[in-house]
A and B are shown apart, each in its own frame.
Chain A
Amino acid sequence: MESLLILALALELRRRRKQSAREIQQLRQEMAHISRVTTLSGLAGSLSHDLKQPLTAICSNVQAARRFLAAEPPFLGEVCEILASIEQDGERAGEMIERVRGLLKKGEWKPELLSFNDIVQDVVHLLRGHVVARGASLRIEAAPDLPRVSGDRAQLLQVLLNLALNAVEAMAGNPAGARHLVLATRRAGPGCAEAIVRDSGRGIAPAEIERIFEPFYTTKREGLGIGLSITRSIVKAHGGAVWAENHPEGGAAFHVVLPVLGDGHPGGT
C-alpha cells in the first residue's frame, strides 16, 4: 500500500515538474516575443521610412504615367516601363511587410535549416534605414559556403537584430563618420558556424563583460535590460553560445556560435 502511495506521489511530482517545465518554456517564448515586439516598435520610424520609398516611387510613377497618357500623342512606351516599375516596387513593399510580419509572429518553435548569411541579410534589410538615420555605416563580411544550422528563424533573427541595435546605440557617442557596424559570419572550428556583430564604440568595461547578459542589467537610461539575457537564452536553447569581447582595434564584438546541423541538440527544453 505504502509503495503504491509513493509511486502515485512520484508520478504526480513528475507530472507537475513537466508542467512547470512547459510553463517556463512558454513564459520564455512570451518574453522573447515581447522583446521582439519592443525592438520592432523601436524600429517603427525607420521601417516606415523604408516602406515609404517604394510607395513614393509608385505614386510618382502613376502621376507621371497620367501625364504621359494625356500627351498628344500619348507616350505609351514610357507608360509600359512605368507599369513594370510599379509592379516591381509593389513587390518590394510586400517583401518589406512580410519581413516585419515574420518577426512579429508569435508561435511555437519552428526549426528549419538556416544559414547565418541569410539571417544577416534579413537584419540588413530591417536595419538599413535605422543605420542611415543614426549616421552609421554597415558592412557585411559573409563567409561563402557557411554550413547551415538548425533553428527558429524569427528567434535567430531576433538575436542578431538585438546585437546589431545595441551596437548602433553603443556608437551614438562617436563623431559622425566614425560609427562602423560590421556583421560577419564564418566557420568556427569543426562543426560550428559563427556570427559576429562588431561596433566601433567605446567597448565594454571588463568588469561588466559577463554581467551584461544578466536579466535586468542595463547601463542605459531607458530599457529594461532584458534584451541580452533573452538573446543568451535563445542561443542556449539552440545549443550554442554567445559572448562579448573587446576588439583590439576598439569597440566591442559579440559572438554567436551555433552547432552545425548534426551536432548538438537544438530545441526547447
Chain B
Amino acid sequence: MKDAEPVVFVVDDEPCVRLALQRLLKSAGHGVETFGSAAELLACGAAERPGCLLLDLQMPGVNGLELQQALRAEGASLPVVFLSGKADVSTAAQAMKAGALDFLTKPVNDRELLAAVGLACELSVKAQRERTELQELRQRLAQLTCRELEVFSLVATGLRNKQIAGALGTVEKTVKVHRAHVMEKMQAGSLADLVRFADRLSLSAVTERGHDPDRAGSPSWHDGQA
C-alpha cells in the first residue's frame, strides 16, 4: 500500500510570511498548503491527511495554541511545529507540554525548520501507516468465525494446541484446523506474526467458557517459530 505524500500545513496570518515559508518548503521538496487563519485550516479537514502543522503562535481570533488544542480535541494527530515571533519561555513551555514537536522563532533558520518539518512528516507517515495496518487487521479479524477467534486469542498467549483443545473442550485436530484458517485469514506468516497482530488488536485472552488460559499450565513461548 502506497503511503499518501505528507503535506505541510502552514498557518500564519501574515501573507508575506506564508508565501516565503511555502517557497522554502517547496524548494526542499515538501508538499505545502497555506492558511491565513485557524478557521480556514479547520474547515479544510486537514486532520485526515498525513503531514504536519507549521503554526504561527500569535494570530487574531484563534491563536496557534488554541488551534493546537482544538485539533487534539478533534482527535487529529498531526505533529505540530510552532513558529513564533514571540519567544518567551512560558509560551514555549506551554506549547511543548501540549505536545508540540518543536518551537522555533522568527526569523527562522532554514536548516532547523526543515529538520523539524522533516521529522514531523516522517512521524506522521509512520503513524498513518500503523493506522492503515490496524484497519487492515481489523478487517481480517472480522472474517474469523467465533471459534477461530477463540483459537487465535489462545494461540497468541503461547498455549500449545493440546492445551487449547483442553481449554475449549475439543480435540487437537480441530484446533489445528482452526489454527490454519486463522493463519490464512489473518495473513500471518508465523506464530510471531500472529502474536504481533493480537497485540496490535488488543485481543483479550479470556475464552467463551470463562476459562482463564493463564492457569492452563505454563505457556510455552518457544514452541513454533520464534
A interface residues (Cβ-Cβ under 8 A, vs B): 45, 49, 52-61, 63-65, 67-68, 71, 75, 78, 82, 85, 88-89, 92, 129, 132-133, 137
Contacts and interface: CB of A to CB of B under 8 A. Distances in A.
Contact of A60 (B58, B59, B85, B108): B108
Contact of B20 (A49, A58, A75, A129): A58
A56 B20 contact: yes
Contacts of B14: 53, 57
B58 A64 contact: no
Nearest to B25: A64
Interface of B: 13-14, 16-17, 19-21, 23-24, 26-28, 58-60, 85-86, 106-108, 110, 113
B24 A63 contact: yes
Q: Which 8 A-B pairs have the closest CB atoms?
A: A67-B27, A60-B20, A63-B110, A64-B23, A57-B16, A57-B20, A56-B106, A64-B24
Contacts of B113: 60
Nearest to A177: B61
B86 A49 contact: yes
A78 B23 contact: yes
Given A63-B110, A85-B16, A56 B23 contact: no
Contact of A59 (B26, B27, B59, B108): B108
21 contacts: A45-B86, A49-B86, A52-B106, A52-B107, A53-B17, A55-B107, A56-B85, A56-B106, A57-B14, A57-B19, A60-B24, A61-B24, A63-B110, A65-B27, A71-B27, A75-B27, A78-B27, A82-B23, A85-B20, A89-B16, A92-B16
Contacts of B19: 57, 61, 85
Main secondary structure of the interface of A (DSSP, over half): helix
Nearest to A129: B58
Nearest to B111: A63
Contacts of A56: 17, 20, 85, 106-108
Contacts of B20: 56-61, 64, 85, 89
Contact of B107 (A59, A68, A85, A88): A59
A137 B60 contact: yes
Given A52-B85, A53-B17, A85-B16, A60 B60 contact: no
B26 A64 contact: yes
B37 to A, nearest CB: 12
A258 to B, nearest CB: 31
A46 to B, nearest CB: 9
Nearest to A55: B107
Contacts of B24: 60-61, 63-64, 67
Nearest to A176: B66
Contacts of A65: 23, 27
B58 A132 contact: yes
A114 to B, nearest CB: 28
**Max chain B Cβ within 10 angstroms of own Cβ: one of A58, A61, A64, A133:** A64
A119 B28 CA distance: 43
A70 B215 CA distance: 67
A20 B28 CA distance: 68
